[in-house]
Chain A
Amino acid sequence: MERFTQLTGRIAAMPAANIDTDVIMPKAFLKGIDRAGLALGLFHDLRFDAEGRQRPEFLLHRADMADTRFLLVGPNFGCGSSREHAVWGMLQYGIRAIIGTGFAGIFADNAANNGLLLIILDPIEIASLGACLSNDTGLISIDLEKRIIIAGDVSIDFGIDPDVRRALLLGLDRIGDTLTHSARIHSFQQAYLAEHPWLVEESAR
């Protein structure tokens, strides 16, 4: 997974509510057996027309938005399908953090598992960030160690799940970590299946 410590970059605002993962990564990009080629898929049907021509009016295609690293989004971003391709596409495109009032659960877990930082702020803080976008360079800094966003003269502290923060800072191997508990899992499973014998499959019974 990608690590995140401190990063300065451009932020783009997509304030619509309920931007779903079908829109973030349309189905045409879900036919792979690896993770390749998903930068092109990100917001594809908003970015390109039916003939594959770039839509110049789309936010991320504006000349001043070319190197966007962060998104400022509306409520319930990432709702809908569980497709992790949406998160892979974000990172491949170069988006490293998303700031919003709340994210859909599966999307948030997928982000945490891949090193895409999600920051939840209250609507007033979101509005103050939005205001500095319109009158400033559009550059902000996010420091995950200090848990602070700096935009011009404004600085905003943010809270984050300590486990997610640690994983983002250090780039943990979650499966490897869990397997250190193998003995616990084995003994739990043994006792559990003894108590729920109907869960033991024919083949193993």
Chain B
Amino acid sequence: MPASRTLYDKIIDRHRILSFGEAEGAGERMLLYIDRTVLNEYTSPQAFSGLRDAGRRVWRPEAALGVVDHVNSTDPARGAGSSDGGAQRQIDYFVQNGRDFGIEIYDVLHPRQGIEHVVLPDLGWVLPGLVIAAGDSHTTTYGAFGTVGFGIGTSDIEHLLATQTLIYHRLKNMRVTIDGRLPTGVTAKDAVMAVIRLIGAGGAAGYALEFAGEAIRTLGVEARMTMCNMAVECGARVALMAPDDKVLDYISGRPRTPPAAMLERGREQWAELVTDAAAHFDAEVVLRAEDVPPMVSWGTSPDQALAISDRVPHPDDMPIDRQADVARAIAYMGLEPHMLLQGISIDRAFIGSCTNARITDLRDAARILDGRKVAPGVRAMISPGSSTVRREAEAEGLDRIFIDAGFEWRQSGCSLCLAMNDDMLAPGERCASSTNRNFEGRQGIGGRTHLMSPAMVAAAAVTGKLVDVRRFPSPETM
């Protein structure tokens, strides 16, 4: 074991049961202990069927929690069931699997139901130093707590349930340092979109990405979650940030937070969860926070994004091997080369997803919407990240601000982030969206997604156009 290690390597070393040695070009292969997992209704059914077929049990059922989130309705008056036969079958099988294998399931009407990556932190179930693997790529979110979180497919879910382990290849280490402080009106979403644009959609493939620097330290825990969540869009399999007092404050007093005496014991161990000063990184990227503008995506890959003040690129201005992709993206998005991003008209506005639907995100959006109205012709929806967040927002009166502005105040779920339920764009509709993926057809076949921060979505909803949120003072500052 080298004397100086990265945060990632320290956590992995602590969870290594046995090493299978170095594989040619693929890093160390090992049997890795997994602390916890969260399951959803759409990537887990075949894993449970596999266990049934082989007559296997779940190794540690209390280390798993199931949450219905992808297929459920977000109708304000929803019931337990779904009008969609496929979705209903998945929900029913999920509930049955929980019962048969002893795993707790939050079904549609459970008071803590919500998007899995919002629910776990809500519960206080994500603690520093853990390894959490789950059947969803945005499991990277938990990096904000100093937890190694990564997405896995259904075969590996089955392996994890049966053995509490995974066969794991150690990743390389990358550090992204953001010096200074983000300017007013610029959020964690803009910072992570700027990183993705800089290094590309595959730029961190094969790496565990540690975010460091003053900008990260000054952000709140929920903003940090936004960054770790979206790190998967530049290919990072794991995102990490060193846990600090803000994290300890965040986890205290939640439904599943360990008792105070245990937290004290944890605190002693968690102090070691930092990268050693002399640790080696295989790649380093440095940004200045002052240079990060409010960002908006123009294309069909999350790295196809620019400052809101910028123009849609021209394929001819791009490297030769990217011209065809750029031309296709511009055509799909219904844009013209060199067009100003600011002023592009939208049909829909959506605030939701595991990236940006926590209480702080809702407050950011409400500040813009307070006393204003959604532009005529724009359909605007907000789906809080969890039922817990929804209640919290209602207690603060944020729901009134959204409803008075003309937003639909929905129940929680993945909703229009991937449109597996009825929330979807019609072909050609253009949406300002606080989500994480602008892939072709992601929000509905032919739908056009522009990614941005929740405040930027709110500002776009009010003007009916993409707009720079910094030119959009809140009523008290006007």
In the complex, residue of chain B having the shortest beta-carbon distance to the beta carbon of A79: B201
Q: Indicate if the CB atoms of A102 and B202 lie closer than 8 Å.
A: yes
- Looking at the complex, which of A4-12, A64-72, A131-139, A196-204 is the stretch in contact with chain B? A196-204
Q: A159: which B residues are within 8 A, CB to CB?
A: 24-25
In the complex, residue of chain A having the shortest beta-carbon distance to the beta carbon of B44: A33
Contact with A along B155-180 (1 / 0, CB 8 A): 11011001111010100000000000
Q: Tell me the B129-178 residues at the A interface (CB within 8 Å).
A: 129-130, 135-137, 151-156, 158-159, 162-165, 167, 169
* B interface bracket (residues with beta carbon within 8 Å of A): 35 or more
Q: A105-B237, A185-B164 are in contact. Are A34 and B159 (CB under 8 A)?
A: no
- Looking at the complex, which of A54-62, A91-99, A109-117, A148-156 is the stretch in contact with chain B? A109-117
Interface residues contributed by chain A, number (CB under 8 Å): 57
Within 8 Å of chain A (Cβ to Cβ): is B276? no
Q: Indicate if the CB atoms of A17 and B201 lie closer than 8 Å.
A: yes
Q: Indicate if the CB atoms of B137 and A81 lie closer than 8 Å.
A: yes
In the complex, residue of chain B having the shortest beta-carbon distance to the beta carbon of A110: B153
Q: Indicate if the CB atoms of A198 and B136 lie closer than 8 Å.
A: no
CA distance A7 to B49 in the complex (A): 31
Q: Tell which of A22, A178, A203 touches B167, judged by Cβ atoms closer than 8 Å.
A: A178
Q: A105-B205, A110-B153, A174-B159 are in contact. Are A204 and B62 (CB under 8 A)?
A: yes
In the complex, residue of chain B having the shortest beta-carbon distance to the beta carbon of A106: B151
Q: Tell which of A30, A31, A110, A178 touches B31, judged by Cβ atoms closer than 8 Å.
A: A178
Closest Cβ of chain B to A3, distance in Å, is 16
Q: Indicate if the CB atoms of B25 and A161 lie closer than 8 Å.
A: yes
Q: Tell which of A75, A114, A162, A201 touches B23, judged by Cβ atoms closer than 8 Å.
A: A162
Q: Tell which of B29, B33, B263 touches A185, judged by Cβ atoms closer than 8 Å.
A: B33
By a beta-carbon cutoff of 8 Å, the part of chain A in contact with chain B is 15-18, 20, 22-23, 26-27, 30-35, 45, 50, 75-76, 79-84, 87, 102-106, 109-110, 113-114, 159, 161-163, 174-175, 178-179, 181-182, 184-185, 188-189, 192, 196-199, 201, 203-204
By a beta-carbon cutoff of 8 Å, the part of chain B in contact with chain A is 17-18, 20, 23-26, 29, 31, 33, 35-36, 42-43, 45-46, 49, 54, 56, 59-60, 62-63, 70-71, 84, 86-87, 89-90, 93, 127, 129-130, 135-137, 151-156, 158-159, 162-165, 167, 169, 200-202, 205-206, 235, 237, 258-259, 262-263, 265-266, 269, 301, 303, 322, 324-325, 328, 418-420, 427, 437, 439-442, 445
- The contact sample of 17 A-B pairs, CB cut-off 8 A, is A16-B324, A20-B437, A23-B441, A45-B440, A76-B200, A110-B155, A110-B156, A159-B25, A163-B26, A163-B167, A178-B162, A178-B165, A184-B17, A185-B17, A185-B59, A188-B33, A199-B130
